[in-house]
């Protein structure tokens, strides 16, 4: 029992124990990883290869590999330490407070708003390169 603002006793609902359930199967995780690799590596790295060549891309690969490995290890550690469905926003909220979590959420939102059109443009360009009779904008909208 607890008291409300007017001083009357209020019966509280029993606390529900929270737990996480596994809803993603290995095939789902695999498809997410493949999608990230395709959109990040093939569409992003092709411009770097054109500008830097083989050696430039090889040199850029060193710090990027370090960044990805530390990101994966940090994210895995955070996921086990803070089992929350909010992902990066939950981790930022725990570390930097509500405003830090909000800024992280806005950053993720901006990424999710701009990444799909960029990927669709790349897909449209690839379709047009393979089938020149198809307009790249039509392929982009279809993607």
* 14-34 pLDDT per residue, tens: 666 667 677 778 888 777 777
Q: How far is the C-alpha of 119 from the C-alpha of 44, rounded, in Å?
A: 9
Whether pTM exceeds 0.95: no
- Tokens, residue 130: 């393979």
Domain boundaries, the chain: 44-81, 89-142
- For residue 70, what are its two tokens? 């530390």
Per-residue pLDDT of the chain (143 residues; tens, 9 = 90+): 555 555 565 566 666 666 767 777 888 877 777 766 666 656 667 777 778 888 988 898 899 889 888 888 888 888 888 887 777 888 888 889 999 989 988 988 888 888 788 888 888 888 998 999 999 999 999 98
């Amino acid at each position: 029992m607890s008291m409300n603002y007017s001083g009357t006793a209020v019966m509280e609902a029993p606390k529900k124990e929270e737990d996480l359930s596994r809803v993603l199967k290995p095939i789902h995780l695999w498809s997410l990883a493949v999608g990230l690799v395709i959109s990040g590596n093939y569409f992003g790295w092709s411009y770097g290869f054109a500008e830097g060549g083989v050696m430039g891309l090889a040199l850029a690969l060193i710090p990027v590999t370090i960044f990805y490995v530390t990101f994966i290890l940090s994210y895995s550690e955070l996921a086990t330490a803070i089992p929350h469905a909010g992902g990066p926003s939950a981790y930022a909220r725990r570390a930097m407070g509500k405003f830090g979590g909000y800024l992280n959420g806005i950053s993720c939102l901006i990424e999710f708003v701009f990444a799909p059109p960029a990927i669709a443009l790349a897909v449209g360009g690839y379709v047009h390169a393979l089938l020149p009779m198809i307009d790249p904008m039509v392929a982009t909208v279809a993607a």
